[in-house]
Amino acid sequence: MKTNFGQRLPLLLKSALLLGSSLMLAGQAGAAEAYTERALRNYDTYCVQCHGINRNGRGINSRDMSVQPRDHSDAKGMGDIPNEEIFRVIKEGGLAVNKSVLMPAWGNVMNDEEIRELVAYLRFVCKCGSTN
C-alpha cells in the first residue's frame, strides 16, 4: 500500500479535532501515539532520503546502499526495538547500537526533545507499541 504520511496528517488532525480530542491517535489500543508537526518536518528533512517517502526503507538513496534502511512501517520489526534504542540510534547513529554506520548520527542536528518527538512519530508510523 502506498501511503504518504505527510499528506495524511492534515486529514488525521481534522478528524481528531472533529472528535474533540487531539489525543485520539494516542488512545488507540497499543498502537499509534500522538506526534508533533516538528517531528514530521524533521523526518521529511533528514530521514526521507534513505527511509523513504512511504517510510518503508526505500528512499532514493537506498538503491545503492549495502545495508538497507529500516522499514519504519513494519510493525513487527519496529515493535522489537525498544524506545531507548530508537532514541540512541537517532542520536548517536547505527554504530552505537551495533548497526550499520550507514545510519548517521543526528545528535548535532537535533536536540533530545526533537529526537524524543521522532521516536513518538516512528511509533505512529509503525502502528506498534514499544516493548518497554
Task: Show the site string, 55-94: x = touches ligand HEC by CB under 6 A, - = not.
Answer: ------x---x-x-xx----------x---xx--xx---x
Alpha-carbon gap, residue 49 to 44, rounded angstroms? 8
Nearer to ligand HEC, 50 or 128 (CB): 50
Nearer to ligand HEC, 8 or 41 (CB): 41
Rounded to the nearest angstrom, the gap between the alpha carbon of residue 22 and the centroid of all alpha carbons in its chain is 19
Nearer to ligand HEC, 16 or 61 (CB): 61
In the region spanning residues 7 to 66, those forming contacts with ligand HEC, defined by CB under 6 A, are: 46-47, 49-51, 61, 65
Answer yes or no: are the C-beta atoms of 124 and 43 closer than 8 Å. Answer: no
Amino acid at 64: D
Alpha-carbon gap, residue 122 to 119, rounded angstroms? 5
